[in-house]
Structure 1
Amino acid sequence: MRRPACLLACLFACAAGLQSGAQGQEAVDALTRGQPQDVAALIGRIVDCNHWRGEEGYDADRKKEIREALRDLKCDRLDRDEAVVRKRYPNNRKVSAALDKAKDTVQ
């Protein structure tokens, strides 16, 4: 009897994770819709960096995977890259708002 309960709990957890991922993608799509290409790309990087920064490095392989993802995404350059984009679009409230929201978005 214990095994079906565990299986059911796992199914609910997986479904919640899939729904959360779908909602995360919907949020990214909404933030990037109608944005200039460089802004959309930066928003994608910000959200991806948020994701990887929140991952748990539970063993050496996972820590390496996280470190490589952060390096490949150039997460250490986000502040500089964001400053360049904000300077390029100084009076565009839609760009500014999307960049601000991206910082709180995790996919």
Structure 2
Amino acid sequence: MQRTLLASLLLLMASGCAAGSDPCGDYDKVRRSLPRDAAALLDRGVNCNHFAGEFNGDRSARDQEINQVLTELRCDQVEREVAAIKRKYRADPAVLKAFRVYYDE
């Protein structure tokens, strides 16, 4: 399971950077500037959004793989945890901006 998740995350990072969709360098810089718990949750949320967008609903082997990754990432808990992080860091504009830019959009 861990290998699947790691391979999937590496693929996600490589594909996003190659496509020029992010400011990959900016994302890494922003993530490193956040408190550890906020950075970890931001990564999970971004990855959950990415993999949810790949889900086709056709019960294919790929959908099964995606479901496993979504389960490993605990994506069903992310919304609640994001709300808690936003409350915890409500006075930290960098945290709020990072979630707005990379997760909410």
TM-score, normalisation: structure 2: 0.70
Shift of 1:27: 4.4
Shift of 1:59: 5.5
TM-score, normalisation: structure 1: 0.69
**Counterpart residue number, 1:70:** 70
Contact 2:16–2:22 at 8 Å: present in 1 too?
no
CA distance in 1, matches of 2:66, 2:30: 25
What amino acid sits opposite 2:65 in the alignment? Answer: E
CA distance in 2, matches of 1:50, 1:70: 9
**Counterpart residue number, 2:53:** 54
In structure 2, relative to structure 1, the CA distance for the partners of 1:30 and 1:72 (3 Å cut) is same
For the pair shown, which has the larger CA radius of gyration, 1 or 2? Answer: 1
Identical columns (%): 32
Q: List runs of 5+ in structure 1 lacking aligned partners.
A: 1-15
**Counterpart residue number, 1:80:** 80
Q: RMSD between aligned alpha carbons? A: 2.6
Shift of 1:30: 3.1
1:8-43 Cα deviation digits (max 9, x unpaired) = xxxxxxxx8761278464343133131100010011
Shift of 1:44: 0.4
Shift of 1:96: 0.3
Report matched runs for 1:1-107 at 5 Å. 19-20=18-19, 23=22, 25-57=24-56, 60-103=60-103
SS at match of 2:90: coil
**Counterpart residue number, 2:10:** none
Shift of 1:51: 1.2
CA distance in 2, matches of 1:102, 1:42: 11
**Greater RCO, CA 8 A, separation 6+:** 1
